[in-house]
Chain A
Amino acid sequence: MCIRKSPNQKMGRVLINIFILIAVFGAGLSDSLLAQEHPLFVEAVNSRGDWQEGVVAARRVVFTDKARAGSEIDIDVPAEGKYQLLAYIHHNWRNRNAFPHIRVEAVDAKENSHGGSHTLENIWYLENSDPGRWFFVSLSENPYWVLPEGRVRLRFRAEGRNSPWEDKSVPLESKVSIYGFILAPVTVNGDSLQSFLLINPEHCGGRWNVVDYDKECSTNFVETEKKGAEFSCAISIPKAAYYSGVFSVLAAQGGSLGVEIENKGFSFKRTVTLKNNPEWQMCQLEPVYLNKGGYSIKVKNLEPTLLKMDFLLLSARIDD
């Protein structure tokens, strides 16, 4: 289940369309067949262009230290709808005269262009020996992009800015790295929107150890090598829908995780096998239909191997 490349979903979509047609004309259809499985997370190393591939803070990334160097990546949009584009970005800029600025342009299947950007704060507050920090940021212009089904070509580049308040360009202080992109569906419900759920396991309860800041990984996370050790987190599902999940794991010796989502009268259990990999990997949880309400997510280490987990992200499938 761990993502390496974006799967070609064309055939899946055709089949789903056939099933929907059948449903419209009266045939019964199981809910589970409507559950589209699409990758929430797209690895930046699948991009092409001026950004270079490498490993930064134990993640396979693309990076650049050249202003305006551009790359692009294709992302499949599973259904027409509203989306937020998130990215996991690393930098180690220290002086207060240059701020990393990421700019994106998404050209959708109908050739419409959607813009966005994000200026990150300079991390002058970290110790000099610290190698930087990862940041989750939203790149889409607020509040979301409206994208048609099909392929989106995402172009991205980095710049230096003299401050978050102005758009004056300055040279890049050092490199900026991108681990990946998340195209998170957004649904409108009356006056409000629903977007992704992001869980930081270090603030959940359980028996995994909390690592506040790890230099090698430039982030905080939880870890355990105890078989059976579990952490759990309460979540509130705002709307009944299929939810897809991704989680960021480091399993240098491999291993397996038990993931359970439950509330009164409902239980969803899956085992995720993790290949040994010295780098962080992003694993995907198959879509699960959750009703509105409170749930508990439990994650258990099923083997006596060291596992580290950075974050979990859940996102509702886009409305049909």
Chain B
Amino acid sequence: MIWRIWFRRALTNLCVLIFVLFRVSKGEAGKENSKFDENKYNSLSLSVDMKTGKALTPGKEQSSVSDISIIKGRNLYSITKEAIDLLGGMKRVVRPGSKVFIKPNYITGGLDGHDPVASGEIAHPAVVAAVAEECLKAGAKEVIIGEWVERPVKINFGGKEGWGGAQVKKLIDRLNKKYGHKIYLINLMDYTKSFKFVPSKTKLKYLAIPDIVANADVIISIPSLKTHHYPSPVSLGMKNFMGIMPSIFYGEPRYKLHEAGIHQIIVDINKALRPDLVVVSGAFGMEGRGASVYLNGKPVDVVSRIGGAVVIAGTDPVAVDATATRMITKDWRPVPEDSRLGSPWYVHHLRMASEQGLGNINTANIHIVGEKLEDVQMNWEPSDDNVYPEIPEPKNGQSIN
């Protein structure tokens, strides 16, 4: 009898050993296929004096330059399409059968009953609809346009057209009629069933990403061109993703993320999501103490400033935001000694993102097609709470893309 018991124990142990080995080998394989591809946006590195932003010595050249398109015009629908076409078209981003998630900046739309579109608070509906249509034309299986909103009236994709709403539903209804019902306007808080927790360099260690976003094949950010109050001088494509973060964990308005260090949080979210495309809506925008009228942000009619609306697009989220930042900070001072870094150097999360390999802020690594940046540059009023410049901590030997 005893040998039978021992034989059984040995067999059990063997099974456990095989199971453990199998798990370990699977885990290693999973790491190799991780979505967190640190080298996706690596490019020319320059060693930089962190106090002044002065380039010292060219570093190792790694990969490519980031293409950014800037289109100016009156017809938002067509300039959005043109901006995407100049990058190689939406087919470069969306494969047939893809699930696309679009995150427009709709987070503060019309809280006080004003028009959130004309105030520049939110992305223009024509830009959002144009991007969604391009996705469908490229063969997307479904396009989800979403935002995590705790306030039921804050985001009104359809329930409240006109002032006080995002004014996008009619356009989406038209597209759904044309292409079959493939576009969904949702509040992530209602539809999220679970969360993917992704690593964070902050004290939070992990960040909860709603399953709908985490499971999307393609992720697109559509911010409005805005300056912002402390702690970030601008709110563009990268910061836009704060609006997907679940209030269940982080409160409303995500104060726990701010407490943890908002700049690194923005970088962490973007590292996890790896947005495939950013399209900045620049028909209306906001200067001063954005990102909402409630906070004393001042609406900007871009057409009246430069004779046309602008759309900025690109697949490198850092380079798009850096370009959009340059566009609205023409006379902001100080600027780094190395003019290739410019005002984005003094936007904490942009600088950190480039340092951490997420994308480019250095003009040496950004190739602009369409309009020349100088032709569309404006001098928007910064927020009055001394948010610019965000002086970097001096560190030696770091490199800036």
Contact = CB atoms under 8 A, between A and B. Distances in A.
Interface stretch (B193-201, B316-324, B327-335): B193-201
Contacts, number: 93
A136 B248 contact: yes
Nearest to B151: A125
Given A125-B154, A138-B249, A236-B211, A191 B198 contact: yes
Give the size category of B's interface with A.
35 or more
B150 A121 contact: yes
A192 B192 CA distance: 17
Contacts of B34: 191
Given A190-B31, A202-B190, A142 B249 contact: yes
Contacts of A27: 8
A200 B248 CA distance: 14
Given A26-B9, A143-B205, A119 B194 contact: no
B195 A195 contact: yes
B197 A164 contact: no
Contacts of B251: 118-121, 137, 164
B371 interface: no
A26 B10 CA distance: 8
A235 B9 contact: no
Interface string A183-208: 00000001111111111101100000
A266 interface: no
Interface in B1-23: 5, 8-9, 12
Contacts of A192: 196-199, 206
B246 to A, nearest CB: 9
Interface in B131-153: 150-153
B252 interface: yes
Given A26-B9, A143-B205, A195-B194, A121 B253 contact: yes
B30 interface: yes
Nearest to A202: B190
A86 B208 CA distance: 14
Contacts of B196: 192
B191 interface: yes
A164 B151 CA distance: 15
**Interface SS of chain B:** mixed
Interface string A119-144: 11101010000000001111000110
A238 interface: yes
Contact of A193 (B5, B31, B206, B258): B206
Interface string B170-214: 000000000000000000001111111111000011101001000
Nearest to A142: B204
Interface in A227-253: 233, 235-236, 238
Contacts of B195: 195
A267 B12 CA distance: 29
B31 to A, nearest CB: 7
Contacts of A202: 190
B364 to A, nearest CB: 33
Given A142-B256, A203-B191, A121 B151 contact: yes
Contacts of A119: 251, 255
B190 A26 contact: no
A200 B9 CA distance: 46
B42 to A, nearest CB: 20
B190 A203 contact: yes
B255 A193 contact: no
Nearest to B4: A26
A112 B271 CA distance: 34
Contacts of A238: 194
Given A119-B255, A164-B251, A165-B258, A143 B206 contact: yes
A164 B204 contact: no
Rank and list the top 4 A-B pairs by shortest CB-CB distance, nearest first. Answer: A26-B8, A193-B197, A121-B252, A164-B255
Given A125-B154, A198-B193, A236-B215, 16 more contacts: A118-B251, A120-B252, A121-B251, A121-B253, A125-B151, A165-B258, A190-B27, A190-B31, A192-B196, A192-B198, A192-B206, A193-B197, A198-B194, A200-B191, A236-B194, A238-B194
27 contacts: A24-B12, A25-B5, A26-B5, A26-B9, A86-B248, A121-B151, A121-B247, A121-B251, A123-B151, A125-B152, A142-B204, A143-B197, A164-B252, A165-B258, A190-B31, A191-B199, A192-B198, A192-B206, A193-B206, A194-B194, A195-B194, A198-B192, A235-B194, A236-B193, A236-B211, A236-B215, A238-B194
